[in-house]
Amino acid sequence: MSRVPRWMDRASINRQESGRRAARVSQPDLRPDREGAEPLPQRAEPGYVSDRPRAAMVDALRQAGVGDPAVLAALLSVPRHQFVEAGLSGRAYEDVSLPIGHAQTISRPYTVARMIELLATDLDPGFRSRCKVLEIGTGCGYQAAVLARVFGEVISVERIRGLHEQARANLRSLRLGNLRLVYGDGLVGLPSQAPFDLMIAAAAGDQIPRAWLEQMAVGGRLVAPVASGDAQALHFVRRNGTAQWSLQVLDTVRFVPLRDGLA
């Protein structure tokens, strides 16, 4: 096992933004109940609705600075209204987060687009089509669906069984053969499937878990929100070598807390 650096060790990590305290790493002694990733059931895809609001949402994201064509195309193809409660479907294409039950939320479309674009920027299209992605926090499954439209293989982990089952139901009609869902503790990653070329988290801890860093492939990228007091910011990590990572602290964001264990 390679030596994982402390974030404040200047010899092993190149800080790319001054004035912020970088996240420290730790290794929790937890294991997911099940690490075997299971394929989604296949069903016929129903006709989509709300095409016009979805197109307007994508146009607004483009105007807000999202420029990756594959990311925009994925957002245009995934029906966000299928991932929110029926009573909130009229707001599905607004740039807002919405409740999905279990004290969790679906992220703003801009946040989803921004995080995925960070992972995708400057990647060769051929590599995108074969890279392996780990998502921590499936939630309702919307971001997983967008990831699966952009990248070659996506594995998404959710610790709340009710959300895991909800995501399976939401995703069934999309028939995404390159997407697998796992019920497990995302705080420890998914060591049986590592290494991962790309990693993305949908919950904010006060540090980047050591397990995530160890499961990144050399050359891999990770984007995750990290909390410092009441504030949160996106942390963008690259693994530059066997024992070398670099960090950029980017946008201010707001996510649900990162928890351990199963629920």
Q: Which of 26, 50, 107, 192 is catalytic?
A: 107
**Nearest-angstrom CA–CA distance, 218 and 195:** 9
Q: Collapse the DSSP code of 113 into the 3-class scheme (helix H, G, I; strand E, B; otherwise coil) and give the result.
A: helix
Q: Collapse the DSSP code of 241 into the 3-class scheme (helix H, G, I; strand E, B; otherwise coil) and give the result.
A: strand
- Following DSSP, what letter does each residue of 6-50 receive, concatenated? PTT-TTTEEE-STTSPPPP--------S----EEPP--PPPPP--
- Following DSSP, what letter does each residue of 147-200 receive, concatenated? HHHHSSEEEEEES-HHHHHHHHHHHGGG--TTEEEEES-GGG--GGG--EEEEE
Among this protein's residues, is 107 annotated catalytic?
yes
Buried-exposed string 151-167: b where 16+ CB fall within 10 A, e elsewhere: bebbbbbbbbeebbebb
Catalytic residues: 107
